[in-house]
Amino acid sequence: MPHFIIEYTDNIKAEADIPALLKKINQSLISHDGVFPIGGIRSRAIELHDYCVADGTEDDAFVHAALKIGAGRPEGVKKTVCDELFDIMKEHFSDLFAKRYLALSMELIEFSETGTYKQNNIHQRYKKSLPKNK
């Protein structure tokens, strides 16, 4: 963990550059050294084809993101990370936001380790060698 999941309406796909956004999100999460294990970071996007925004009479669009993390991080850390991620989203979509109706949103989902099952050997690549005692 963390997992960053974006849902976006298909009417913005051509201009949204979602792969670039996911890369920016991962870089941001990695930059918070020690807060999240690099090998556990996942970001993904789900393009929505069936949706209705507002009264459905316009070609409105939305992007909703969820950051899923395990419990236990201090409130200040969670706020800092979420503020930064939402700022990245706002900047990424700023041109699109300026020329069409677009709703951006993000939520933090925190869960306990109970009921969470994981197996991940990617972490091994990022473990630092411990100095040997002489």
* Average pLDDT of adjacent 10-residue blocks, the chain of 134 residues: 96 97 97 90 97 95 97 94 98 97 97 77 71 49
Here the tokens at position 131 are 């100095």
Nearest-angstrom CA–CA distance, 32 and 78: 11
Which pLDDT does position 128 carry in this prediction? 63
Work out the end-to-end distance of the chain between its first and last CA atoms, rounded to an integer number of angstroms: 36
What is the pLDDT, as a whole number, of residue 120? 81
- φ, ψ of residue 106 to 5 degrees: the values are -150, 145
CA distance 29 to 36: 7
Burial state string for 52-91 with b = 16 or more CB within 10 A and e = fewer than 16: ebeeeeeebbbbbbebbbeeeeeeeeeeebbeebeebbee
pLDDT at 116: 75
Q: Which amino acid is at 118?
A: K
Catalytic residue chosen out of the listed positions 2, 37, 74, 131: 2
Catalytic-residue membership of 19: no
pLDDT for res 32: 93
Residue range 3-126 forms a domain whose CATH class is alpha beta
The pTM assigned to this predicted structure is 0.86
For the chain, the domains span: 3-126
Q: What 3-state class would DSSP assign to 61?
A: strand
